[in-house]
Amino acid sequence: MESGNPGGAAAMLAADRASAGLGIEPVELSPGRAVLRMTVTETMLNGHGIAHGGYVFLLADSAFACACNYPGSTTVAANAEIDFLAPVRVGDQLVAEAVERVRRGRSGIYDITVRRGDEVVAEFRGRSRTLRTG
């Protein structure tokens, strides 16, 4: 195994203070796939009384990171974009599901769907780059 991230997503998420501070919890973690959840709190609301998009982005980005960090690799975002499809409110429990679409060499493409129950509230696409080690 290469040096870098020996534990993959679980080890990375355990050390992720930003995600932990927002109450983001893993539901499922496996190479190329991750499911995380977060409950929207009062401190996440913007001036319109709905969740600030940055928090929804952060949840999706954390799921993206978990899906693309295989054991033995250190992978970072090269690009990411999000489409917000519905407003999110305090108390909503959001679930972000990340799925690997393509992984070729050191690059990958991942799609992340953020849901509130059965309703899709955001769609995120991330492009990853695995760092060279040693």
Q: CB of 80 within 8 A of CB of 128?
A: no
Greatest CA separation for the chain:
49
What is the spatial order of strands in the sheet that 93-104 belongs to? 25-30, 33-39, 93-104, 107-116, 119-130, 75-84
- List phi, psi (to 5°) of 49: 80, 15
Q: Tell me the whole-structure pTM to 2 decimals.
A: 0.92
Gap between the Cα atoms of 118 and 124, Å rounded:
17
Q: 51-93: per-residue pLDDT in tens?
A: 999 999 999 999 999 999 988 889 999 999 999 999 999 999 9
Domain 8-130, CATH? 3.10.129.10
Weakest mean pLDDT among 12-21, 41-50, 90-99, 116-125: 12-21
